[in-house]
Amino acid sequence: GAPGVFPEPQQDPVIAIAGAVLRQGCREPFLRVVFTLRACAPLRGATVRSFGSEGDLLQVRFGVKNADF
């Protein structure tokens, strides 16, 4: 994409989605995760999940419930 212009979905692929999860009242996240298009170098302190296509990457479902942890 062009600098300073919001990406256009028809021509600019999504290459990464990242998230951090905090417990209420805590300052530091207990979970950091990065979903990437194709492989990526390890990121210290984060879980990296790579996908082979943009379609697969955009199908990520990320839900957190109290019972999960």
Residue 66: what pLDDT? 43
pLDDT number for residue 46:
92
H-run or E-run covering 58: helix 54-58
* Distance separating alpha carbons of residues 60 and 57, to the nearest angstrom: 6
Q: Which amino acid is at 29?
A: P
Residue 65 has pLDDT above 60, yes or no: no
- Residue 35 tokens read as 């979903």
pLDDT at residue 7, as a whole number: 76
- Nearest CA among 24, 20, 23 for reference residue 69: 23
Task: Specify the DSSP element, H or E, that contains 32.
Answer: strand 31-37
What digits encode the pLDDT tens for the residues 31-54? 899 999 888 889 899 999 999 988
